[in-house]
Structure 1
Amino acid sequence: MKVKKTKRFIIYAMCFLVPLAIATCYFIYRRFAPFGNSSIMTVDMGQQYIDFFAHYRDTLLHNPSGFIYSFANALGGGMIGTWSYYLMSPLNLLILLFPLSKLPSVIAIITLLKYALSGLSFGYFLIQSKKYVSWSVVGFSTAYALMGWMIANQFNTLWIDAAIILPIIFLGFQRLLHDKSSVLYVVALTVMFIINYYMGWMIALFLTAYMVIYGIAKAYPVDTSQYLHIIIKWIKASVLSAMLTAWLLIPTFFSLLAGKTHYTRNQFQIRFEYNPLDMLGKFFNGSVDFKQLPSGTANIFVGSIVVILFVYYFFISSIKKNVRFANLGLTAFMILSMVFQPLDLLWHGWQLPVWYTFRFSYLFSFLMIVTAFSAFLHILKEGLDSKRFSIAMGLIVLGVAYVGIFKKHFEYLHSDNFIWGCVFLVISAGVIIACAIYKQSLLLAVAVFVVMAGEAGLNMVTSLNNLDYLKSTDFTTYTKMLRKEVNQVKQKDKSFYRIGTTFARTKNDAFAADFNGGSIFSSTLEANTSQFFKHIGQPNGDSFVLYSNGTMFTDSLLGMKYYMNQQIPENNPNKKQQKEPVPALTRKPDLTSYELLSQDKLIGTYKNPYALPLGFLAPKSGMNNNKIASDPIEYQNELANRLDPNIKSLYQPANYSHIRYNNIYKISKLNNAILKKKNMMELSYIILTVPVQANTSYYMTLGTNFNKGQISISVDGQNQTQFTPSERTIIANIGNEQVAGNINIQIFVNASSTMLRDVRLYKVHNSKIAQFSNDMKANPFKINKWNERSMSGTVNVKSNNQALTTTIPYSKGWHATVDGKAVTPKMWENMFLYVPMTKGHHTVKLSFWPEGLTAGLIIGLIGWVFIGFEFYRNRSKKKKALTHSEVTEAQDQD
């Protein structure tokens, strides 16, 4: 007995250590931090997640209210949806043990542990469910831990926990199907939904498909008379799990209603997304590259032994037909889901993914590996049916032949990877045949492990070598520098304000450096925020907004009290050009009208004298508007006039005095003009000379063709750096002159011809901005106490036609009290919150409590009461049974 326990412990340890060793060796080879200056940061890990991890650390160590709300989330936004999708993995707690400078290293360690824990949980599942302990279990667990989905999504670390918990959920699910305790199922599924509701939804859908298909095939592992009892038991357990996670799921649901659900654009189409046979290429190693990430086929690499055993499973006559048919039905459903768009849409919560397609494919790989292991045990017990095995191998060879014949179609599949796949297929077939002959041979069990681990390791190397990664210092050096500048501002100014920048490493810099910004890249972005940014001429999309093109008016309105600007280093001909430590985002001549507070070689910090407080008084009549101007400058004009009727028109059209041409045919007007080259091979541009007035800011609107690289712009010889893309016309700041003169705008044509779509010139005198600022500051909301989710202060209302207007993004989660009495906040400009007011001096408190959180807590409490009731009832039953047994025993003795 002791020997069995020792052997089981060794196998568990190896299930953990082997994937860990393989992944660690690769990390050392690639010099990922902490083993070098490279990192696992690529794509979203480098552009999004790592900044959220910095916010995670700041929130738990310094600012707990950031779990509920944060003004680093664009202009402000609820955070529960962000946390429930990105940050709830228990392994993230390791981040708290190290300084921020070690964050790339900690993320790499967390990723390694997730590989290892995936192997351990799958090994635990196999041993517990199949009652079989062998070195071959280590092979199958390694194949699972390093399956193609794991490799392709290594940098999507927020999803990887699903691979760890899935085997435990399925183990609990199997026990439930055998009419045993449902405790493990409830606990594991609850943990999954808390860690990542998105992956939890996919697992729940997989289990539902299993229940339906196996029920139709009458393949449950109990007598048919118990089917209804099992189904009810499963439903009760699943509902209970949902109740226990309601505190997180319900607020997240409301968060999604305000965000992602607005972006669905007629995605439901009855069509096949690609030829199902194209999936066959993904069974070969090295099938991941940058082209596959945004739009490739499903990542389903599992290794040759698994593929052979999986196909052979359906030919094993000793397995009941109804069980095989059920498994075949589930397999067919999963394959159809990976090619048929309506089912693909269902798996992804009714929204097709942007990048990282078929995110549920790990469930198919799980099904394949579990099925293959069942076939492996049958072979050890009964041997091979050579005829049926030959048929299975014949089908596999046909698949290999298809890939070989049409190899050019599989752009990601290199010839050497195809050859290695064929080699491993032959070796795997030999090992399986040997296992059938010698059955319980320790040497062959080790051979299974070595072959499976070797092929999985090869796939990791050949796949991840196709990707490029950021250096760890790209994050640590930049974040240290930015935090230093932000902290200097915070030490001098404890009030509420926002900070703008003319540079950015990512759109989530505000999270990385812990300040109130104006940008965000997140799947939980609220739709109203994206729309508002589009209206004011800022780059925006379904999952991002970027405050890179602020005008003096929007800087004032949105309270951008401080600005950080990239300092242009002096050219040194003796030094090679190096990557800029502060990546330029845009030019901002308006900073000449702001106060320079400090500067060093990299950053200059400015104070905006026109920045408004978070709240101010404005006419109630200006709070209602359903008309949106198509031009962002006109929209800002209307917005300024509604807030301050005295301002009238803020912006005026600006004119150019003349145009010079170089290799371009002459045009009659600027806007919507077509610039056409004379000679395709020569440099082509036009130069606009624009007379400028003193103390006046100048802007140019740019249509979407600027995003496509068809034109580029410089102003007085300086490149008009501009972030792209954007959904709509954007605004570029081209000048803010202190004295009268001229500026020259050079527009380069980078195509044979292009249209200057929505290209117009505007100007605004600084005195107009000062007037607007002074008018709005005359009656401010004086905040005396605030944190991320609440603030209180006073306001003096001089007439009944005014409202306390804020630039806090509106949400039903915001609540207001005026002099201690509840008042319902309202929304203005379909974006911001305002509070109706009456004349007089008032104390106002604003607080945020996520919509649905109270209901979720109540439902969760009911769930715990139900658990307590069930525990008490079962305990009472056991006592009664024990008492009855004792009485019966006493009677027998009498």
Structure 2
Amino acid sequence: MNQPQIAKKTFGYYSVIFIMVCCAIYISYFLAGGSFIWKVDGFTQHFLVFNEYMTLLQDVIRGKGFAQWDWSIGAGADTIISYGYYIIGDPFVYLGVLFPESMREFSFHFLIFVRVWFVGASYLFFARKFNVSHRAGLMGALMYGFSFFAIYNMTRHPFFILPMIWYPLLCLGVEKILRKESGVLFSMMVAISAIANFYFFYKLTILTFIYGVVRYILLYGIKPIKQAVLTLSRCVLYYAIGLLMSAILFLPMVDGFLHASRSTGRSPMSLFYYPLAYYEGLIYHLFTPGVYFWMVGGFSIFTIFTFVFLLKNKRNVAGVMLLILGIFTLFPLFASFMNGMSGPYNRFSFAIPLFLALASSQFLDKRQELQLKHFTYMFYLLVLFTLLYAKVALLEEKYSYYLLPIALGWLMWGILLYECKKQVTKKYVPLLLTVLVVLNMATNTRAFYYDYGRNMISSTVELHTAIEQYENVLGGMEKLLPTDERYRLGVTSRDNQVRNQFIYHDLKGLNTYLSLTNGYVADFAEELEIGTYQIIQPLRSGMDDRRMLNHLLNVEYIITNEKNKRYLPRGYEVIDQPTIIKAKRQQKANVEREPLGVDFTELYLKRYHALKQPQYDPNYVIAKTASSFPLAYVEDNMMLRQDFAKLNPVEKEVFLTKGVVVEDALGRTTMKDDDFTVKGLRELDYNITYPYERVQPLSKTVFTVRPGGGEMHITLPNANALKRSELYVRLEGLRYKNAEESTKYDVRFKYEGRTKTLRQSDEHAFSSYFKRDNMFVNLGYTKEGKNEITIQFPDAGRYYMDNIVIYALPARNKTDEKLAAHKQAHALTITNFENERIEGTINNEKEGVLVTSIPYAKGWQVTVNGEKRDTIQANIGFIGIPLEKGKAHIVFTYQNPYLLKGSIVSIVGVLLLIIVGRIARKKRQ
């Protein structure tokens, strides 16, 4: 208690050391071209969303407003729901508006460092409540701030760092309530953490509750019950007030989550045990950077001594919490519970470094309590880990990675033992140990980034290139497109690199890759068995190049690399580039001839952008079709969804071009599934052969594939039935087994120079896993009718299929164009098209349903001739409006249904906090 406590100087020392360590770690990293933009989610989600949101905020500052609906997010999506999961509630991100657009990538990296600094700072506030000394607090802050969970997510998911900031402050808020102090901090932190990210807020709520129960019992015991009830009531009251304060964003986000396509079903794996490799990883990743099922290790080797200290001090809140969290990491059931009863990911492991840091700080302050026998325990633990890590270092040939932490551990042990034997507390010991801990954390961090360790640098986008890659994703060809945005732009199944980049270019596409994606649109994609479908990417990669689906969803243009031309759907013809450029020049000339208006600045900018000479990649092409459907048209041929579900995928696709699927009959006559036939559709006979010995057939649809992969050849005897048709293959009733009990496998289809691969995700890939009972693939249009299909199975194992069905459907451009012309004749004439408002007129010859390709969402309100109308689900995932015969003026408007309600609730929450806070202050006085 005589040692100086955590004070302002502690934060100052922490800041200086933080900057020095960051320079030592990251200067060479950035000079080598590394960045914090991971090539997967970092590039396609985190930085892209950050860049777009900064642009939106700066536009708001300029007075342009904030659109709650954005047509460039997939088929169109709620802006708040789409971005709220990542960025809207992150208070640090708003510092980004202070940087110009030219420094966007710099600001992204700078704000990551700011978040990590706050991780350690929040620890200092928390530890100060436990009377931790200045030196011990400094070591704990650095141990927590540079813990591997924070370092890992600097490059992986930057917003995952936020709960490491909120949790110590939530625990501090609970601590203040338990000590009969103010509960305002607790309410504020509940509100901030709920706004920042509802997904982690769920985990934080459970972890904070556990901390509160443990801490209360350690402070007061179980009795008296009355005091326990009163304390719990105070906590619940302040928690509820915080939740009310967060409603402005929390309510829209929860609604978005409940209607999202992300799977929240029960984990397909056992909830009682993990694979054996996981438990091995727990040991080997304890003191070296590593992640398995999101159990993030890489703790300081100093914690070996902390464990011995905790054995001596059993009534320590950090020790009890570590014991509980340690048990949680052993069984998938707890991880699944902490993850909303979905995949057993240990993303709650961000809490473990907090209590390790607190216990380590307390140990450093009370190290004189240890006896020589405790150092014997430490010795045996060090020997055990030395042997284990030496073994794996030899096997993996990563000596620095595994052995350097052990060497530092022996050095720490020697310093502590020397001090113990001298029986004098040395003032320089905390400094030496802090230096070694910092060195330990820094070397672990470098081991994560560089090639002698995990080599994360190779998985990141090269520094200062992300914006350029967004800019060039379509080869610059998007600049040649018409400025009328009432059409959609598509890609082919080979353009998997195009995910969220339509957002950057502000183009109406279909591709999206975000954690919260419209669940109704996902249901549509699943019902149609679109081969490229993934849970959070429902309409990705050209919808398997299925021409009728592209027509249905208003895709008029497709941009792709020239080498992918053979994947273009039938009827999409490449436009000659000189013709496009000539038309574009004429458009520029028209801009030049515009009369001068009042706003000279706007006119100047308009001319400047029009006259810029864009760069085009000659390897890219634009294809156009005359058969795309309008955004909204009237259809009077209806089928109930339950009848629609009985059709095969080809019949479903054809019906959607001739009618509309509804959830309810609306009091009208609907078509039955057995009344609907597709003219010219054929199921083809075939023969199967296995040309290589690596495939051992057991029956027609059961076979074993040996290591190295194998393939089957399907021969179609009647090749004439294929001519001028689209060919589809459906593998029905799929099941797969292998020696490793993995569910992951690929099936590759080859036909006429086109290759398509469909994947069954591994059951441990919880963000993307769903069980494919069938695989349905479009092999494209064939003019001559080649009679052989190759299906490859790269993964060894036994495959089971109930049946293989092959469909051939005639495809004629004139037929498609005639059908599209019919839709255009019954289309809504759009007079105004904006993000949040669509306005148009229609003269309906008879009653029907206005079918749109606007994704179904609660926030869309519709008026017909000034009268409010309810929307219905049309074609499963989109908006429909029942219409009567006659003329109609129709207006669509969008507003998030919970934003206004949430704002009112938040104001109520703030007022309650003020009232309750004043009452509590008077009682304390």
Contact kept? 2:375, 2:417, Cα under 8 Å? no
In 2, the alpha carbon distance for the partners of 1:482 and 1:44 equals 16
Question: Cα gap change, 1:263/1:147 in structure 2, threshold over 3 Å: closer, same or farther?
Answer: same
SS of 1:478 mapped into structure 2: helix
Confirm or deny: 8 A CA contact 1:539 1:547 kept in the other structure. yes
> In the alignment, is the contact (CA less than 8 A) between 1:539 and 1:723 conserved in 2?
yes
- 1:831 corresponds, among 849, 859, 877, to 877
Contact 1:254 1:851 in 2 (8 A): no
The code of the aligned residue for 1:367 comes to F
Question: Who is 1:580 aligned against?
Answer: none
Task: Give distance in 2, aligned partners of 1:167 and 1:453.
Answer: 21
Counterpart secondary structure, 1:590? coil
Equivalent AA in structure 2 for residue 539 of structure 1: T
Change (3 A) 1:23 1:349: farther
CA distance in 2, matches of 1:403, 1:679: 32
| Distance of aligned partners of 1:167 and 1:506 in 2 relative to their CA distance in 1, 3 Å threshold | farther
Of 311, 314, 328, 1:337 maps to: 328
Farther-moved stretch of structure 1 (608-617 vs 10-19): 10-19
CA spacing shift, 1:658–1:336, aligned 2, 3 Å: closer
- Who is 2:409 aligned against? 425
Q: Residue 522 of structure 1 contacts residue 543 of structure 1 at CA under 8 Å; is this kept in 2?
A: yes
Q: Is the 8 A contact 1:689 1:743 kept in 2?
A: no
Q: CA deviation at 1:417?
A: 3.5
| Cα distance change of structure 1 residues 296 and 673 upon mapping to structure 2, 3 Å threshold | closer
Q: 1:837 to 1:760 in 2, by over 3 A?
A: closer
Alignment of 1:199-598 (within 5 A): 199-219=200-220, 226-259=227-260, 263-265=264-266, 270-273=271-274, 278=280, 280-282=282-284, 284-288=286-290, 292=291, 295-296=292-293, 298-316=295-313, 323-324=315-316, 327-352=318-343, 357-379=345-367, 383-387=368-372, 389-390=374-375, 392-393=377-378, 396-397=381-382, 400=385, 403=388, 414-433=398-417, 441-465=426-450, 466=454, 467=456, 468-472=458-462, 475-482=466-473, 485=476, 488=479, 492-502=482-492, 503-536=495-528, 537-545=530-538, 546-548=540-542, 549-568=544-563, 587-588=567-568, 590=570, 592-593=572-573, 595-596=575-576, 598=580
Task: Find out whether 1:820 has 2:869 as its counterpart.
Answer: no
Q: Is the 8 A contact 1:301 1:365 kept in 2?
A: no
Distance in 2 separating the partners of 1:630 and 1:395? 68
Q: Distance in 2 between matches of 1:277 and 1:648?
A: 56
Structure 1 residue 364: Cα displacement: 1.6
Q: Deviations over 1:614-669 (max 9, x none)?
A: 2111116346554324632121123223249999866634799999999479x9xx
- Map of 2:26 onto structure 1: 27
Structure 1 residue 110 displacement after superposition = 2.6
Question: Any residues of structure 2 matched to 1:674-753 within 5 Å, and which?
Answer: 696=724, 698-701=726-729, 703=731, 708-715=745-752, 718-720=753-755, 724=759, 727=772, 728-735=774-781, 741=784, 747=790, 749=792
Partner AA of 2:618 in structure 1:
K
Aligned to 2:611: none
Q: How many residues align?
A: 829
Out of 36, 56, 59, the position equivalent to 2:33 is: 36
CA RMSD of superposed structures (Å): 4.3
Partners of 2:522 and 2:306 in 1: CA distance: 50
Which amino acid in 1 is paired with 2:266?
R
CA spacing shift, 1:689–1:27, aligned 2, 3 Å? farther
8 Å contact 1:617–1:780 — kept in the other structure?
A: yes
Displacement after TM superposition at 1:273 (Å):
2.5
Structure 1 counterpart of 2:816: 769
Work out which of the residue numbers 911, 914, 924 in structure 2 matches 1:865: 911
Check conservation: 2:865, 2:890, Cα contact below 8 A.
yes
- C-alpha distance in 2 between matches for 1:54 and 1:601: 28
- Cα offset for 1:12? 1.4
Aligned-residue sequence identity (percent) comes to: 14
Q: Which amino acid aligns with 2:140?
A: F
Q: Over residues 239-265 of structure 1, what are the superposed CA-to-partner deviations in whole Å (9 max), with x where a residue is unaligned?
A: 111111112222222222222575403
Matched AA of 1:45: G
- SS of the equivalent of 2:195 reads helix
Aligned 8 A contact 1:312 1:392 in 2: no
Q: State how 1:87-98 maps to structure 2 within 5 Å.
A: 87-88=87-88, 89-96=90-97
Residue 164 (structure 1) aligns with: 165
CA separation of 1:96 and 1:531: change in aligned 2, threshold 3 A: same
What amino acid does structure 2 have at the position aligned with 1:51? L
* 2:826 alignment partner, SS class: coil
Asked if the contact 2:318/2:358 (under 8 Å) is kept, the reply is no
* Range with bigger deviation, 705-714 or 227-236: 705-714
Q: Secondary structure at the match of 1:606?
A: strand
Q: 1:28 to 1:485 in 2, by over 3 A?
A: same
Contact persistence 1:150–1:160 (CA under 8 A): yes
Question: How many angstroms apart in 1 are the aligned matches of 2:52 and 2:166?
Answer: 25
Match of 1:471, SS state, is coil
For 1:833, what is the secondary structure of its paired residue?
strand
Instruction: Provide the TM-score with structure 2 as the length reference.
Output: 0.79
Partner of 1:45: 42
Deviation at 1:714, TM superposition (A): 4.5
Alpha-carbon separation, structure 2, partners of 1:876 and 1:455: 49
Amino acid at match of 1:450: V
Distance 1:8 1:408, change over 3 A: closer
- Secondary structure in 1 matching 2:296: coil
- Cα distance in 2 for partners of 1:592, 1:296 equals 44
Cα distance change on mapping 1:585 and 1:364 into 2, 3 Å: farther
